[in-house]
Amino acid sequence: MMNRSFSNDPLWISLVEQFREACVLRRNGRHSESEHLLQTELPNKIAAWSKQPLPGGLDRRSILETMFQEEQRRVEEAFFVQKLVATQIEEQLLPKLCFMIAEEIRDVVRSEARAGNRSGALSGTMAGTGLGDVLARRMTQSPARPRVQFDESSPDDDHQLQAA
């Protein structure tokens, strides 16, 4: 891997990242943006990098060609992995999540129906209640605990936020 020879060179790192970005843009169908990088910005970086001294025996052209091939391969592999993950999510995870959510909704409806049968005889308020009403009532009865606890804000904090 030729890229490691220049792993501490900010110009080389920028050149590689910009070429990778162009590859990703092209892979995502954003051809005009990719072409802009390849035709206008990348040649300037390559020219600047080419002016830097190289250790003896290294050929600039072969270094660049190797980098181009490696980055194109890396982008293709990343998109392949992305496709595999998306397929796994679609085929395995989503059906399981849908099943779990459906079970949770059934449990809520069952418990509300049982509660309605007990209190409905007394008040008659549960008759004709739809699922949306049951879920809305359930959400207001037992709100979920927040996963993040925020400190109470003071009037000084509000003033500082407005000033910013």
By mean pLDDT, which of 65-69, 99-103, 109-113 is the weakest?
A: 109-113
pTM above 0.75, yes or no: no
| Domain chopping of the chain, boundaries | 2-78
pLDDT in tens, 103-126: 999 998 888 888 877 765 555 444
Please give the pLDDT value at position 44: 93
- Six token digits for residue 100: 């779990």
By mean pLDDT, which of 66-70, 79-83, 140-144 is the weakest?
A: 140-144
Percentage above 70 pLDDT, the chain: 69
Cβ atoms of residues 51 and 43 within 8 Å: no
